[in-house]
Structure 1
Amino acid sequence: MRSLHVADTNGTAFDIVVLGGGSGGYAAALRAAQLGKSVALIEADKVGGTCLHVGCVPTKALLHAAELADHARDGAHFGVHTTLDRIDMNGVNEYKATVIGRLYKGLQGLIKSRKITVFEGYGKLVAKDTVEVNGERVTGEYIVLGTGSYARSLPGLEIGGRVITSDQALQLDWVPKSVIVLGGGVIGSEFASVWKSFGADVTIIEALPHLIANEDESLSKAFERQFRKRGINFNLGVRFAGVTQDDNGVHVSLEDGKTFDADLLLVAVGRGPRTSGVGYEEQGITLDRGFVITDERLHTGVGNIYAVGDIVPGLQLAHRGFAQGIFVAEEIAGLKPAAIVESGIPRVTYSDPEVASVGLTEARAKEVHGADAVETLEYNLGGNGKSQILGTQGFVKLVRQKDGPVIGVHMIGARVGELIGEGQLIVNWEAYPEDVAALVHAHPTQNEALGEAHLALAGKPLHAHN
């Protein structure tokens, strides 16, 4: 089937054909249409992709419900005496579906208003300028590949029954009494946070030495302390050995001999690129472990074919996909946009506590610039009025080149994800601490913590010690 604007003739030609309607693909389509290009968008499921339907949006809806559960449980701390009666997962899922539905309807409206032709079905690249979908060939002067990602598993670890991925976790209509999370990255940590707030016993198993190991080590350690304080258990630096399941639950073993029993095992070991069986290699496109290799302009090196989003090596984030989609559309239109700098893309883990960062970690900065050329500062949220009001703990950590710009902003605490916008401006515009210190931040806000951190780094702290 085809929806929205439907091409009536076989072999219809467009300026641009976009294969995949997720964050990167639909962003490319919307921007290209805005620039006057005729665009075909091919999507096997629903436009919006993983992020809208089984990723960012539904997980954050669950996390908001989890936050409300915590507020209800802990209201007495603020003088508001409440009790948490129960978690109604049918009600939670209805709320989640309503949010998704509104955003999906809005996206469909945007696509229709920009006269983008949408083909529903599995597309395959069959020539350097042609995608086949439902037996119909759709040609384009330019092709943009954006086929997204899938929830990975480990070799020999089959998904099914009580062994689930995030896809199945988002559809649960019950709260497990106990759950084991295999993987302590962003996805695993977010689900662990949700289930703990909903009342489950949670154990995380992570082969790396830290949770959210891609973040600055100081954030990872603080994150672990707060998870431990919440009663979330974790085993670090140890590998998964196997799992069996029966009517009572799952039985998980580790290589160090430890065993765990729980209602469910969530496999959250990352996401793989969805590039198998779609004709990429047959057309000469280079793949590495399934990822499409491109140059810094996101060109594949084959014909007029570009790639965006989770299939391109790097951060698998929806906003990275948006940025890449816009970039490619503008590149095709001849606008010569600036290349996207990966380290300048903000990263957020939406758990309790939240973690937000942009730029280089302290360790990476020292690798790039040398240990003696890097300076850091931590500003504790204990000195921030709004953080005290919210009852959150954490800090802002700044990484700068000595006598130079700020090259990393790292934060942990409630709602710090909302602060990362200023953080990315600071890093991407290569601001000096003195530049930010001169700005006036509203009081009392958590945003003020960024200002205070830069005041301190500039040598004139207000609510912090030298």
Structure 2
Amino acid sequence: MAETIKTKVLIIGAGTGGYVAGIRCGQLGLDTILVDGGDGLGGTCLNVGCIPSKAIIHAASKFETVSKAAAGGTLGITASKPAIDLAQTTAWKDGIVRKLNAGVAGLLKKAKVKVVNGWAEFSDAKTCTVKTADGDIVISAEHVILATGSEPVELPFLPFGGDVISSTEALSLSAVPKKLVVVGGGYIGLELGIAFRKLGAEVAIVEMADRLLPLYDKALTDPVAKWLEKHGVELHLGAKAGSFDKGALNVTGKDGAALKLKADKVLVTVGRKPRTQGWGLENMGVAMAGPFVKIDDRCATSMKNVWAVGDLTGEPMLAHKGSAQGEIVAEIIAGHDKRFDPVTIAAVCFTEPEIVSAGLGPQDVEGRDDVITAVFPLMAIGRALALEAGDDGGFVRVLASKTDHRLLGLQAVGQHVSELSNSFAQMLEMGAVLEDVAGTIHVHPTMGEAFHEASLRALGHAIHI
């Protein structure tokens, strides 16, 4: 007979939304059970997404630096020709993941959250059966937080398996593929495609849109496109991928021409979809918003005391959004008056160079005459030049209201600009005006000075340009 447990809060999914909700519930004294369905504590982001991909990107950049030193020298530094043992690199990456897994486990234990490892399936909105290695456990709860996350989209004519891989498999390869074809020119495909190019793979990218990263404006993506061109990455824009057969991917080019791209591996990165199948969502009676679970500004679903956070609830599918939602839901359950109503959720592409965007972009204010736009180039920032980050076309851009100078949007492209993302989000969340940024003494020499100068330029008196 299955063991039966009752709890105040039941959380399904141990990703960034779920485990943060669990920790906060525990801190607030709520009896909480967290069910980890197999991705591991930390979910996609920690195990097979954000963290491991950034580790591989970092290793690839180090390898590229040594390669430059071996090919005639860089900054007066010379070196012998480097080699990459990707199996060792992957083992190093896995070590980071294990350390973070252990850290999350420790935090949950400290918060007195019970973790159940197994796959949950709901029979009604507040009851599920979890299949564990030791048998079935039936859990019923007063409150349920759904945090099941998302999974890679699979193309019917390019099913995952063998040499057709998703980002998950790409992060665990034991050797650098000689020829890699990436299907999808969004941020996941470009981040990994660029990393493998740095590691020595021949890379081709197939994208249906007419340009890369179509959700960002052209000025932001041009430096990335220039890097790809300079480093011999083959681009097929306005093209459609087909089947993969005998080591070649069939592609229909923009002009309708049939192409065959040779590939050792085909990396499919055409997006992610909410994980809604296989755990009994259909038995819970919650309303949907297209493929996502519908929520209000409290992250409440249409079923009383059933909440949803993270990728399951819609765009943007970003780890930090899920974490913020999870924290808020825990506090609401504990009786606090909370709403999820952020001014902005900043996003970063860890491409070469990096891209940051927060708030409104040029495409959002097109045709308006009440907006100030100012751009400051990184080539005029001393720290950027000292980091070899000033000659790739990078810049910081501010958009602000003409009437009251309130910041509306902030973007940047360039090496190391990801570290500006929190400053961007903070200024927008606080309702800052241009004078707030201009009046803040920015540390010299730092990349953040470009934000200061862009704001000064919007006010008509930049100093260093």
Normalised by the shorter chain, which TM-score bucket? over 0.9
Contact 2:374 2:399 in 1 (8 A): yes
2:250 to 234, 247, 252: 252
Q: Provide the rounded CA distance (Å) in 2 between the counterparts of 1:214 and 1:338.
A: 27
**Which stretch of the first structure deviates more once superposed, 272-281 or 102-111?**
272-281
- Assess, with a 3 A threshold, how the Cα gap between structure 1 residues 9 and 181 changes in structure 2: closer, same or farther: closer
- Assess, with a 3 A threshold, how the Cα gap between structure 1 residues 258 and 427 changes in structure 2: closer, same or farther: farther
Match of residue 178 from structure 1: 179
Q: Provide the rounded CA distance (Å) in 1 between the counterparts of 2:118 and 2:221.
A: 42
Match of residue 334 from structure 2: 333
Q: Provide the rounded CA distance (Å) in 2 between the counterparts of 1:9 and 1:38.
A: 21
Contact 2:158 2:244 in 1 (8 A): no
2:377 to 369, 375, 380: 380
Contact 2:398 2:411 in 1 (8 A): yes
Contact 2:125 2:283 in 1 (8 A): no
Offset of 1:458 from its aligned partner?
1.8
Offset of 1:287 from its aligned partner?
2.8
Q: Which amino acid is the alignment partner of residue 288 of structure 2?
A: L
Offset of 1:208 from its aligned partner?
1.8
Q: Which amino acid is the alignment partner of residue 88 of structure 2?
A: G
Q: Provide the rounded CA distance (Å) in 2 between the counterparts of 1:447 and 1:328.
A: 34
Offset of 1:28 from its aligned partner?
0.6
Deviations 1:328-363 (A, max 9, x none): 11121222224232x611111112211111111111
| 1:424-435 paired onto structure 2 within 5 Å | 424-435=425-436
Q: Provide the rounded CA distance (Å) in 1 between the counterparts of 2:233 and 2:438.
A: 38
Contact 1:16 1:143 in 2 (8 A): yes
Match of residue 161 from structure 2: 160
Q: Provide the rounded CA distance (Å) in 1 between the counterparts of 2:320 and 2:85.
A: 31
Match of residue 128 from structure 2: 131
Identical-residue share of aligned pairs (%): 34
Q: Provide the rounded CA distance (Å) in 2 between the counterparts of 1:264 and 1:258.
A: 20
Offset of 1:56 from its aligned partner?
0.6
Root mean square deviation, CA, Å: 1.6
Q: Which amino acid is the alignment partner of residue 454 of structure 2?
A: A
Match of residue 57 from structure 1: 51
User: Could you say what secondary structure the match of 1:323 adopts?
Assistant: helix
Contact 1:378 1:396 in 2 (8 A): yes
| 1:32-431 paired onto structure 2 within 5 Å | 32-45=25-38, 46-75=40-69, 76-134=73-131, 135-240=136-241, 242-246=242-246, 249-254=247-252, 256-259=256-259, 260-341=261-342, 344-366=344-366, 371-392=368-389, 393=392, 394-403=394-403, 404-431=405-432
Match of residue 24 from structure 1: 17
Deviations 1:161-218 (A, max 9, x none): 1111111111110101111100111110101111110011111111123212222332
Deviations 1:210-245 (A, max 9, x none): 2122223320233212322232222222222x1233
Q: Provide the rounded CA distance (Å) in 2 between the counterparts of 1:223 and 1:382.
A: 16
Contact 1:437 1:455 in 2 (8 A): yes
Offset of 1:288 from its aligned partner?
4.0
Unaligned 5+ runs, structure 1:
1-7
Offset of 1:286 from its aligned partner?
2.1
User: Could you say what secondary structure the match of 1:179 adopts?
Assistant: strand
- Assess, with a 3 A threshold, how the Cα gap between structure 1 residues 172 and 222 changes in structure 2: closer, same or farther: same
Q: Provide the rounded CA distance (Å) in 1 between the counterparts of 2:425 and 2:318.
A: 15
User: Could you say what secondary structure the match of 2:266 adopts?
Assistant: strand
Structure 1 runs of 4+ aligned residues shifted over 3 Å read: none
Match of residue 451 from structure 1: 452
Q: Provide the rounded CA distance (Å) in 1 between the counterparts of 2:26 and 2:211.
A: 44
TM-score (norm 2): 0.93
Deviations 1:303-334 (A, max 9, x none): 21010111111111111111111111112122
Q: Provide the rounded CA distance (Å) in 2 between the counterparts of 1:217 and 1:407.
A: 19
Q: Provide the rounded CA distance (Å) in 1 between the counterparts of 2:197 and 2:248.
A: 18
- Assess, with a 3 A threshold, how the Cα gap between structure 1 residues 400 and 209 changes in structure 2: closer, same or farther: farther
Q: Provide the rounded CA distance (Å) in 2 between the counterparts of 1:58 and 1:225.
A: 26
Offset of 1:43 from its aligned partner?
1.0
**Which stretch of the first structure deviates more once superposed, 173-182 or 128-137?**
128-137
Q: Provide the rounded CA distance (Å) in 2 between the counterparts of 1:57 and 1:110.
A: 18
User: Could you say what secondary structure the match of 1:372 adopts?
Assistant: coil
Contact 1:276 1:290 in 2 (8 A): no
User: Could you say what secondary structure the match of 2:35 adopts?
Assistant: strand
Contact 1:162 1:245 in 2 (8 A): no
Q: Which amino acid is the alignment partner of residue 25 of structure 2?
A: A
Offset of 1:9 from its aligned partner?
8.9
Contact 1:250 1:262 in 2 (8 A): yes
Contact 1:384 1:448 in 2 (8 A): yes
Offset of 1:120 from its aligned partner?
0.9
TM-score (norm 1): 0.93
Deviations 1:226-267 (A, max 9, x none): 322232222222222x12332xx2333225224121211100
Contact 1:274 1:290 in 2 (8 A): no
Q: Which amino acid is the alignment partner of residue 421 of structure 1?
A: N
